[in-house]
Structure 1
Amino acid sequence: MHASWPELDTTCEEQLASGCARLGLELPADTRARLLDYLQMMVKWNRAYNLTAVRDPEQMVTRHLLDSLAIAPYLRGQRLLDVGTGGGLPGVPMAIVFPQREFHLLDSNGKKTRFLFQVKTALGLANMTVHQARVESFQSDAPFDAVLSRAFASLADMVSGCRHLLADTGHFFAMKGAYPEAELAAIAELCSVEAIHRLQVPGLDEQRHLVDMTLR
Structure 2
Amino acid sequence: MAETLWQRQLREGLAEMQLSLSDEQQQKLLAFLALLNKWNKAYNLTAVRNEGEMVSRQLLDSLSILPWITTDQLLDVGAGGGLPGIPLAIVFPEKRFTLLDSNGKKTRFLNQCVLELGLDNVEVIHGRAEDCRPEQPFSQISSRAFTALDNLVGWCGGLLANGGSFLAMKGQYPDDEVAALPAGWQVSSSHSLKVPGAGGERHLLIVARAEQSR
2:135 is the counterpart of 1:141: yes
Matched ranges for 1:33-72 at <5 A:
33-72=27-66
1:18 partnered with 2:3: no
Q: Secondary structure at the match of 2:36?
A: helix
2:92 maps to: 98
Deviation at 1:194, TM superposition (A): 2.2
Q: Is 1:191 aligned to 2:191, yes or no?
A: no
TM-score (ref. length: structure 1):
0.93
In structure 2, what is the Cα distance between the partners aligned to 1:57 and 1:204?
13
Matching of residues 108-123 of structure 1 within 5 Å: 108-123=102-117
**SS of residue matched to 1:158:** helix
Residue range with higher mean Cα deviation, 191-200 or 126-135: 191-200
Provide the rounded CA distance (Å) in 2 between the counterparts of 1:154 and 1:19: 29
Q: CA–CA distance in 2 between the matches of 1:74 and 1:40? A: 27
Distance 2:117 2:203 in 1: 29
The CA deviation at 1:189 is: 3.0
Residue aligning to 2:163: 169
What is the CA-CA distance between 1:109 and the residue it aligns to?
0.6
Which SS does the other structure have where 2:100 is aligned? strand
Q: Is the CA contact 2:81–2:106 (under 8 Å) kept in the aligned structure 1?
A: yes
Superposed CA offset, 1:167-202 (max 9, x none): 111111100000111111222632232210100110
SS of 2:163's equivalent in the other structure is: strand
Which residue in the other structure is 2:119 paired with? Answer: 125
Aligned with 1:76 (options 54, 70, 77): 70
Structure 1 counterpart SS, 2:199: coil
| TM-score, with length taken from structure 2 | 0.94
Q: Residue 150 of structure 2 contacts residue 182 of structure 2 at CA under 8 Å; is this kept in 1?
A: no
Unaligned ranges ≥5, structure 2: none
The answer to whether residue 97 in structure 2 is matched with residue 107 in structure 1 is no
1:206 aligns with 200
Aligned equivalent of 2:152: 158
Are the aligned partners of 1:143 and 1:165 in contact in 2 as well (CA < 8 Å)?
yes
Structure 1 stretches of 4+ moved >6 Å? none
How far apart, in 2, do the equivalents of 1:181 and 1:75 lie?
24
> Structure 1: any 5+ residue segments left out of the alignment?
1-8
Work out the percentage of aligned pairs sharing the same amino acid: 49
Helix, strand or coil: the match of 1:136?
helix
Counterpart residue type for residue 56 of structure 1: N
CA deviations 1:49-82 (Å, max 9, x no partner) are 1111222222111111111111111122111100
CA contact (8 A) 1:39 1:57 kept: no
